[in-house]
Amino acid sequence: MGYFEFFGKFIPIWPLSLLLAVPIILLGWVGISSENAYESVNYSLLIILGLALAIVVYAFLDSYQKIRVRKDIERIEDEFATALFQLGNAISGGAPLETAIDKAKENLKEMRIADMFDIISLNMKKFGYTFEEAIFNKNVGAIWYYPSKLIHSIMQTVIQSARKNIKTAASSMVVISRYLKGVHEVKEEIDEILGETTSSMKFLAMFLAPMVSGVTVTLAVIILRILQNLGSSMQNIMASAGNVNSYQTFFLVPWAMGGTLPITPSFFQLIVGIYMIETGVLLAVFLNGIAYGEDPVGMRQSIWTIVMFAILIYIISWFATYSMFGGTIEQLLAPTSKI
């Protein structure tokens, strides 16, 4: 984890993600102090885009090569129950172990798991290894080509049974295959039960939360612009009125007295944007945990997918809503600024 393969070399990912994100963040920080509210928000949006880009690039490069291996392992694990059943039946039928392996391999030739039986058979015939050595030999053992905790644990159980006698091993294979089929059926039922929940979480993370965040930023910018102009106008009115009694100024808030606001539209956008990214990352972690449990590769796959779509929807939502309402508000504020 933390590296990706490039022409046979393993390259660390974090320097590359920073190299792509830091220039965008610096560009946004340089222009965030613009006096034009719309421009300053757009520059602050570049900071959020840079942060999201760093997360997306890191998670993508750390998962897109590994996810192919994981999918192959998942497919082999799904086929493993059938493979064990075939091998256990062949042994129970009285066939020698090597013959039973070849027979099971022939019956499973359309499946990926057949390659594992091919390696076991080759090790036993070519090197003269025992069944245990053909699977767990440190140099050429078949188990090392399949980095699956499930397959590793089951083959350990089968080997322990085979140490008693081969018939016990065959019986264990059949029992384990039935157990795996039951687990697969339970998993499908759980996925069906949780399907509506996970779909709602994906919709929230990839569309609803970023869209609402973009609309919120637009409304906040409009309201802050109105308050800023209103505060400046009230300050001018009070200055032209001369002396004002203390009980009258008591009820005026600080932005009306000084014409400034405690937060600018650009910094408000930064707060909302960071919140939106955090929401996407957390929901991606939860979704992956529900579907796969503790799986760092799948978690990174979910993170870059959700954050990428979320930042796109967020940017589109901001520009779309401000283009609809921002121009009208600016026209209404133009006469007020001349007071």
The pLDDT, as a whole number, for residue 236 is 61
135: Cα within 13 Å, side-chain hemisphere: 15
The pLDDT, as a whole number, for residue 274 is 93
Q: ∠37-48-280 over CA atoms, to 5°? A: 130
Q: Do the beta carbons of residue 257 and residue 249 sit within 8 Å?
A: yes
Q: Do the beta carbons of residue 306 and residue 280 sit within 8 Å?
A: yes
Residue 48 tokens, joined: 């959020």
Pick the closest to residue 122 from 92, 151, 96, 101 (CA basis): 101
- Average pLDDT over the chain, rounded to an integer: 81
Write the CB contacts of 62 (distance below 8 Å, at least 6 apart in sequence): 1, 2, 3, 4, 13, 297, 300
* Alpha-carbon span 119 to 139, nearest angstrom: 12
Cβ atoms within 10 Å, residue 103: 18
Per-residue pLDDT band at 248 (split at 50, 70, 90): very low
Residue 5's beta-bridge partner residues?
10
Q: Is pLDDT at 299 greater than 50 in this prediction?
A: yes
Segment (H or E) for 138: none
How far is residue 151 from each of residues 80, 121, 232, 260, measured CA to CA in Å? 8, 17, 72, 66
Helix-, strand-, coil-residue percentages of the chain, each rounded to 5: 80, 0, 15
- Whether the full predicted model's pTM is greater than 0.85, yes or no, is no
* Alpha-carbon span 104 to 95, nearest angstrom: 11
Q: Quick check: helix, strand or coil at residue 219?
A: helix
**pLDDT tens-digit map of 54-103:** 999 999 988 888 888 888 888 888 888 888 888 888 887 777 778 888 88
> What's the distance, CA 330 to chain centroid?
39
315: Cα within 13 Å, side-chain hemisphere: 15
Residue 327 tokens, joined: 């121009």
Lowest mean pLDDT among 157-166, 215-224, 231-240: 231-240
* Alpha-carbon span 30 to 133, nearest angstrom: 64
Q: Is pLDDT at 149 greater than 90 in this prediction?
A: no
Residue with tokens 């690039």: 57
The pLDDT, as a whole number, for residue 337 is 43
Taking residues 199-211, report their average pLDDT. 89
Helical residues (DSSP H) of 32-111, grouped into ranges: 37-61, 66-92, 97-107
* Alpha-carbon span 50 to 93, nearest angstrom: 64
Amino acid occupying residue 152: H
State phi, psi for 3 to the nearest 5 degrees: -135, 155
Q: ∠180-183-186 over CA atoms, to 5°? A: 155
